[in-house]
Amino acid sequence: MHQIIIISSIGALLFSVPLWAANVEAGKASSAMCAGCHGPKGVSAAGMFPNLAGQKEAYIAAQLKAFKDKTRVNPLMNGMAAGLKDEDIANLAAYFSSLKPCE
C-alpha cells in the first residue's frame, strides 16, 4: 500500500512541475512582440497598457495562459498569446518579472 502512495506522489510531482527551467534570456529575445504596447523594458508609455516589469512571474504566466485559452478575453492579447508555447510563456514571465518595476 505504501508503495502505491509513494509512486502516486512521485507521479503527481512529475506532472505538476515543468520539465524545463524558465530562461530569462530567451524571454528577453521573445519580448520584442510585447514592446509595442508594454514598452521595451516592460514599462508602458500609455495608461491603457499595463506595466509588466517587476510583476510576479506566476501572475504573468497565468494571465498569458488565460489569454491563450481565451478564459480571459481581449482580442489583441488573445491573438498575441495564441501562438505561444508553455515554454515561451514561462520564459516571458521570467524575463518581465526580472525587470525593475516602474517607480
pLDDT tens digits, one per residue of 34-57: 999 999 999 998 999 999 999 999
pLDDT at 17 over 50: no
Instruction: Judge whether 93 and 27 are in contact, CB under 8 Å.
Output: yes
Angle between helices 86-98 and 57-68 (to 10 degrees): 140
According to CATH, the topology of domain 21-98 is Cytochrome Bc1 Complex; Chain D, domain 2 (1.10.760)
The overall average pLDDT reported for the chain is: 88
CA distances from 8 to 4, 16, 70 (A): 6, 12, 32
Reduced to 3 states, what is the DSSP secondary structure of residue 59? helix
